[in-house]
Amino acid sequence: MKSLTAPHILDGNAIAAAIKAEVAAEIEQLRAHGIRPGLTVVMVGNHPASEVYVRNKVKTSASLGIVGEMLTPPESITADEMLTLIAALNARDDVDGILIQLPLPRHIDAKRLLEAVAPEKDVDGFHPVNVGRLQTGQPALAPCTPAGIIEMLRRAKVPVAGQNAVVVGRSDIVGKPMAMLLLHGNATVTICHSKTKDLASFCRSADILVAAIGKAGMITPEMVRPGAVLIDVGMNRVTSQTEFDRFFAGDAKREAAFQKNGSVLMGDIDPHAFELASYYTPVPGGVGPLTIAMLMANTVRAARLRRGLSVS
Ligand code: NDP
């Protein structure tokens, strides 16, 4: 059974552009007071895939008026040297946001390093102090992806209060903070994970279904209630023709991209399920662009909070 009305696409690119324009205007105002927010991204070692993301973050920063900096210590850097580097960034007055690009080499304890970042500069919102602030509903730096999803729902006027929200995935980066933000929005929240019994029935109970799993097309149409809001966080590469045909048969544009590049990006939700939705986020072009926009917003927020200025 299809949704009674045609599904609305939640256009992440358009919403991210609007957020970035607002951030740029805010930076302009701060500049009049002699404040220029700064963001430092630290990427350890050589990761061609991450490098594209990191460069993109620094480039976007610059385009909005944030002073972006990229530090690339070698893979051989020791844990102590990393802690010294973070301490130096914590002490720098021109740095408002510090982001440590994951994954880190095995010999560096990521949790310990993330805890070394000053909570007021933790623009990823991963520090236990910010996790606690988020949980207790105090002004905090919230993780960018879930914060972006909430912002998207707010701007698209998708009701959250009183809705049954089901979040599939319980990572510290996406699933858990997502559930907490939905709870603060007065949704009734269920968190599912790999040990959940009868995942399908939980998913079918969702008015808002957030998939943050990392498994291509795992949420099938049978798991979706007609009229549900579908938020697809997953970013998976489809490389096999069989898998491609299962999800995208008849999609000529995507087929051309698949033949040209040998792969296409897709989310955790089978695209056939989108036909049932009232609203859905496409992949690509849904949740992804919001993450970077919220990183920019968090950097400005950090700059304001650190100076005792008001934040919304
Ligand atoms: P993690 O691997 O940290 O977490 C995945 C979660 O999915 C876990 O909680 C896991 O359960 C759960 N899970 C795995 N298999 C199943 C299953 N069969 N049934 C139910 N639950 C299952 O991933 P992340 O949260 O970091 O990322 C999730 C996805 O989102 C990835 O594809 C990632 O690339 C993407 N992502 C996209 C972003 C964006 O900007 N668009 C940003 C961040 C992530 P358990 O805890 O029991 O193991």
Show the domain range for 233: 143-290
Q: Which CATH number does the domain housing residue 246 bear?
A: 3.40.50.720
Whether 174 is in the pocket of ligand 1, judged by its Cβ within 6 Å, is yes
What would the mean pLDDT of 127-131 be, rounded to a whole number? 97
Three-state secondary structure readout of the chain: CCCCCCCEECCHHHHHHHHHHHHHHHHHHHHHCCCCCEEEEECCCCCHHHHHHHHHHHHHHHHHCCEEEEECCCCCCCHHHHHHHHHHHHHCCCCCEEEECCCCCCCCCHHHHHHHCCHHHECCCCCHHHHHHHHCCCCCCCCHHHHHHHHHHHHCCCCCCCCEEEEECCCCCCHHHHHHHHHHCCCEEEEECCCCCCHHHHHHCCCEEEECCCCCCCECHHHCCCCCEEEECCCEEECCHHHHHHHHCCCHHHHHHHHHHCCEEECCECHHHHHHCCEECCCCCCCHHHHHHHHHHHHHHHHHHHCCCCCC
Distance 232 CA to ligand 1 centre (A): 11
88 and 159, same domain (yes or no): no
Confidence of residue 139 (pLDDT cuts 50, 70, 90): confident
183 and 279, same domain (yes or no): yes
Structure tokens at 21: 């324009």
Q: Does residue 18 sit within a domain? A: no
Distance 158 CA to ligand 1 centre (A): 24
Catalytic machinery residues: 57, 101, 124
- What is the tally of structural domains in the chain? 2
Q: What is the pLDDT of residues 80-121, one digit of tens each?
A: 999 999 999 999 999 999 999 998 999 999 999 999 999 999
Q: Does residue 55 sit within a domain? A: yes
Whether 210 is in the pocket of ligand 1, judged by its Cβ within 6 Å, is no
Whether 237 is in the pocket of ligand 1, judged by its Cβ within 6 Å, is no
Whether 169 is in the pocket of ligand 1, judged by its Cβ within 6 Å, is yes
Candidates 19, 149, 193, 268: which one to mutate for ligand 1, based on the most atoms within 8 Å of Cβ?
Answer: 193
Q: What percent of the chain has pLDDT over 90?
A: 93
258 and 169, same domain (yes or no): yes
**What is the pLDDT at residue 52?**
85
Confidence of residue 2 (pLDDT cuts 50, 70, 90): low
Distance 34 CA to ligand 1 centre (A): 41
